[in-house]
Structure 1
Amino acid sequence: MRLKQVRAAWDRYQRDDGPMMAAAVSYYVGLSLCPLLLVLLAGLGWFLRYTATGQTAEDQLFQAVRDHLSPTLELQVQQMLTQVQDRSATNGPLGFLAVLMTAVAAFSQFERAFDRIWGVKSVDDAGWVATIKRLLIQRGIAFLMLFSIGFFLIAVFAAGVALAAVRSMTAEIVSTPEMWWRTLQVSTAFAFNTLLFTAIYRWLPKTNPPWRSAVRGGVLAAALWEIGRHLLAAFLIGTKYSSAYGIVGSFIAILLWCYYAVTIIFLGAEFVQVASASHQPPKRGYPIAGPSPLDAG
């Protein structure tokens, strides 16, 4: 990973109006987080009552919100969970419809941003049939993205549960340093983030960049995300900040997280584009013919 390519990716990000694109996408992503949380809690509303594992999942959900967002938002989630557990049948479909609408809007913004990053020109509509076909394809891809994100969250959650189970089992046999488990937890999160970013850079662009460039962009984005999320949690989004502004502060915190995440995705996409261009073989042309010996006479 060359520093020159990172600098070139940053220059392209500024030239493509990356901050403005990140703000537009983070707006729709921020709006979709609350309905998405509503759907997740609606699914857990019935499950948490009858299983001990569901209670553990609830505790881990609250801990994740408290650690990665703010303690104030954790209280909001607890209140919402209490209401959703009693009305999961009605809130679930409405929440899913809201998630679908905002997911389509967010995907549309992502598609426009990636087209601009990779220099893909928009195709003019060839009639209402082509327009309907294109809209159906976009909504189908939005469905796939939504279910892919859900599958990824389930995989991350399963990995966390498995890691906690292994830790509790080994604690009875041998004492393991806390630093070792912390390193393993960070490494697991970094690996999952790398896979997620790599999949985004490989399949979301219409140009389908090579795997080598997508993996390098995924590693860069995962590293920036791990560094940035700790800085955000330590300096920008804390208990005092959320307590001072209440629910408005919690929503601002969500938008800050969304903006930073989208910025990392776009920076990584610019890096993938630069890396893909550097790996392309030079175009071969015919040599310029010199003067013919017959022309000398």
Structure 2
Amino acid sequence: MRNAWQVIVTAFSGYARHRCPQMAAAIAFYTIFSLAPTLLIVVAVADKVFRQREEGRTALIAQFEALVGPEGAAQVEAMMSRVSTNWGGLVPTIIGAATVFIGATAVFSQIRLALNVVMDAPTPPKVTLRTFWKVLETRLLSLAMVLAIAFLLLVSLALSAFLAGLSKWANSHLPIPINFLQVTNFVVPLLVITSLFAAMFKVLPGVKITWRDTWVGAFITALLFSLGKFLVGMYMGRSTTASVYGAAGSVIIILLWVYYSALIF
């Protein structure tokens, strides 16, 4: 019991010392600019892997609607539409592609920075040509994370659709308790989210973390993430936050959700 209490005290001490609330606010800020490009990459992966661009886009918007409400989902869809508008011409296409690349990787670069601060990673050296290549390497690593997360999200959506169909079939043909099906619908996405967090914990920081610590941290974070998704969904359903901020209400809702997610991360 004493050891558990010591772990809690140490965790909260480090939480305050490393200014985690400020780090979470920075991640939420970068997410607003990274959200549309990242989702475009997810949809592109869905098109290349599953040949289901529109289905992937619709499923993603449905997930956002369940999380932040119809107004927030509409805002996300509008952001995606603006970014994906045909640029036309070689130079605008290059600029547009670079914007998507920088936007999609910005939030993961900020997450990497936050994890390095929290884990007391070595301070980066002075700015040199080698530093420039290191920054480029970090961006490419972030892009790889975007692609990996895109694949995991699509797998999660596919599994959710499969489980929904299986549940409907099982309810009519098999004497399986409804509670069992509900638990299955919760556990499978939880495992996918745990894998997503484990990948970020293992790859992004500038320090080595054992797989045991990685999986434990990822599982706890995934549990808190799932709980937060449920609670934030309930709060947004009853809150007047969106109406108070008017036209910017949808963006504020997304910021609040990402801020909470970054805090538990």
Give TM-score, length-normalised by structure 1.
Answer: 0.73
Deviation at residue 132 of structure 1 after TM alignment: 2.8
SS at match of 1:197: helix
Q: Which runs of 5+ in 2 are unaligned?
A: none
2:112: which partner in 1?
Answer: 111
Q: Does 2:103 correspond to 1:102?
A: yes
Residues 195, 218 of structure 2: 8 Å contact kept: yes
The alpha-carbon distance between structure 1 residues 56 and 21, as it changes in their structure 2 partners (threshold 3 A), is closer
Aligned to 1:202: 202
- Following superposition, the deviation at residue 54 of structure 1 comes to 6.6
**1:27 aligns to what?**
29
- The 5-angstrom pairing of residues 113-128 of structure 1 reads 113-125=114-126, 127-128=128-129
Q: CA 1:54/1:111 → structure 2, altered by over 3 Å: closer, same or farther? A: closer
Question: What's the CA shift for 1:131?
Answer: 2.6
Give the aligned partner of residue 6 of structure 2. 4
Answer whether contact 1:24 1:109 (CA < 8 A) is retained: yes
Letter in structure 1 aligned against 2:67: H
Q: Would the alpha carbon gap of residues 39 and 220 (structure 1) be closer, same or farther in structure 2, given more than 3 Å must change?
A: closer
Q: Is the 8 A contact 1:70 1:239 kept in 2?
A: no
Q: What's the counterpart of residue 67 of structure 2? A: 68
CA distance in 2, matches of 1:126, 1:96: 27
Q: Which has the larger radius of gyration?
A: 1
Q: Which residue of structure 2 lines up, in the alignment, with residue 17 of structure 1?
A: 19
| 8 Å Cα contact 2:28-2:259 kept in structure 1 | yes
> Are 1:215 and 2:204 matched, yes or no?
no
CA–CA separation in structure 1 for the residues paired with 2:83 and 2:111: 31
Deviation at 1:258, TM superposition (A): 1.1
Contact 2:116–2:205 (CA under 8 A) maintained in structure 1: yes
Q: Once the two structures are superposed, what CA deviation does each residue of 1:196-219 show, in whole Å capped at 9, x if it has no partner? A: 222222222222111111121112
Deviation at 1:29, TM superposition (A): 1.3
C-alpha distance in 2, partners of 1:82/1:116?
A: 35
Change (3 A) 1:14 1:144: same
CA distance in structure 1 between the partners assigned to 2:112 and 2:72 by the alignment? 30
Q: 1:153 to 1:180 in 2, by over 3 A?
A: same
Aligned mates of 2:137, 2:53 — CA distance in 1:
36
Q: CA deviation at 1:119?
A: 1.7
Check whether the contact 1:39–1:92 (CA below 8 A) recurs between aligned residues: no
2:29, 2:78 → 1: CA distance? 24
Instruction: Quote how far apart the aligned CAs of 1:123 are.
Output: 3.1
Match of 2:145 in 1: 145
Alignment partners' CA distance in 1, 2:95 and 2:159: 30
Secondary structure of the 1:60 match is helix
Deviation at 1:7, TM superposition (A): 3.0
Query: Contact (CA 8 Å) 1:36, 1:95: kept in 2 or not?
Result: no
CA drift of 1:31 comes to 1.7
Q: TM-score, normalised by structure 2?
A: 0.80
Q: Secondary structure, in 3 states, of the residue corresponding to 1:69?
A: helix
Deviation, 1:141, is 0.9
Distance 1:175 1:61, change over 3 A: farther
Give the unaligned 5+ runs of structure 1: 46-50, 266-297
Q: CA deviation at 1:161?
A: 2.0
The CA RMSD over aligned residues, in Å, is 3.5
Once the two structures are superposed, the pairs formed by residues 158-177 of structure 1 within 5 Å of their partners are: 158-174=158-174, 176-177=176-177
